[in-house]
């Protein structure tokens, strides 16, 4: 994991201060989140399991103060068995998915969850992939437990650009960039043509393809439609985010600025569909 961590402060058992005399009444404060409830929602077990963790004095602050269920503490200041908590609710994680791993909680292993904290699939809400990459595809995969954001990022009504590095079995013929850009290419079994896509040729058998939608096995089927075959595929960007130098199999939590950039990109993509 690297980069500036998610900076928003998440406090458990926090309550609002009393309003100043004469001030209008504020809206009711959200119910405080107890530590056991928070741990259970983050996938550390049932509520009872989490209460047992606390009773066994395994939950403490960075400074070593043992925490009880009703204690007030900030997410970043809590340790379980000396380890930092998993990312706070609402986080977005960027994983460099290696070839061979499946984007599912229940398929035949290896699963992308094998590369992440074992609690991720048990979280409530679950830390879910944002769309899918095929088992044979590597690269940038986002996961989040923010269902609304996930929905926004994968909605078929607007699309963030995604860039793929493609290696091909056959040499490119030369007409592929124009065919992909035309907005008329039909994939087998589909009723509507693909949106225009941008193909930058790197050499005879390598190219970068930017697409704006997410149909099933889209990149592989696009090259099949022009008589070629993809031998290796890696997603290197998703909207404003790039894979960068993150090694295969590693992950990191997006910073607040990166999440804000994603939300801005969704807003722009929505505006462009109007």
Segment lying near ligand URA (by CB under 6 A), choices 45-53, 129-137, 191-199, 243-251:
129-137
Dihedral angle over CA of 77, 82, 88, 92, nearest 10: 130
- 256 among known catalytic residues: no
What is the C-alpha to C-alpha distance for residues 60 and 73, in angstroms, rounded to an integer? 9
- Minimum distance from residue 73 beta carbon to ligand URA (Å): 40
What is the C-alpha to C-alpha distance for residues 214 and 42, in angstroms, rounded to an integer? 30
Segment lying near ligand URA (by CB under 6 A), choices 61-69, 130-138, 171-179, 238-246:
130-138
Helix (H, G, I), strand (E, B) or coil at 21: coil
**Which residue among the candidates 69, 71, 114, 134 is catalytic per the annotation?**
134
CA angle 253, 2, 261 (to 5 degrees): 50
CA-to-CA separations, 226 to 106, 187, 206, 229, in angstroms, rounded: 34, 10, 15, 9
Among 11, 71, 77, 134, binds ligand URA (CB under 6 A): 134
Give the x-and-dash track for 233-252 against ligand URA (CB under 6 A): x-------------------
Give the x-and-dash track for 82-111 against ligand URA (CB under 6 A): ------------------------------
Which helix (H) or strand (E) is 84 found in, with range?
strand 83-84
Segment lying near ligand URA (by CB under 6 A), choices 24-32, 131-139, 152-160, 245-253:
131-139
Q: At what angle do helices 147-154 and 256-273 cross, to 10 degrees?
A: 40
- Minimum distance from residue 233 beta carbon to ligand URA (Å): 6
In the complex, the residues that contact ligand URA under the rule CB under 6 A are 133-134, 137, 217-220, 233
Point out the residues that are catalytic. Answer: 134
């Amino acid at each position: 994991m690297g980069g500036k961590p998610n900076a928003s402060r998440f406090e458990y058992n926090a309550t609002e201060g009393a309003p100043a005399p004469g001030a209008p009444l504020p809206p009711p404060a959200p119910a405080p989140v107890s530590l056991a409830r928070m741990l259970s929602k983050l996938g550390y077990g049932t509520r009872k399991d989490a209460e047992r963790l606390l009773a066994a004095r395994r939950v403490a602050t960075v400074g070593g103060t043992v925490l009880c269920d009703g204690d007030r503490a900030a997410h970043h200041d809590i340790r379980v068995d000396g380890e930092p908590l998993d990312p706070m609710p609402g986080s977005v994680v960027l994983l460099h998915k290696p070839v061979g791993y499946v984007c599912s909680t229940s398929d035949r292993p290896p699963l992308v969850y094998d590369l992440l904290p074992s609690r991720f699939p048990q979280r409530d809400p679950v830390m879910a992939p944002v769309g899918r990459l095929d088992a044979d595809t590597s690269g940038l995969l986002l996961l989040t437990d923010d269902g609304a954001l996930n929905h926004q990022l994968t909605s078929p009504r607007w699309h963030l650009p995604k860039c793929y590095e493609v290696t091909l079995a056959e040499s490119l013929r030369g007409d592929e960039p124009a065919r992909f850009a035309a907005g008329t290419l039909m994939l087998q079994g589909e009723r509507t043509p693909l949106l225009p896509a941008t193909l930058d040729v790197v050499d005879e058998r390598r190219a970068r393809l930017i697409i704006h939608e997410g149909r099933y096995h889209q990149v592989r089927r696009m090259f099949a439609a022009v008589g070629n075959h993809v031998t290796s595929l890696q997603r290197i960007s998703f909207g404003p985010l790039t894979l960068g130098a993150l090694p295969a199999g590693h992950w990191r939590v997006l910073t607040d600025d990166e999440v804000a950039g994603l939300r801005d990109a969704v807003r722009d993509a929505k505006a462009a569909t109007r």
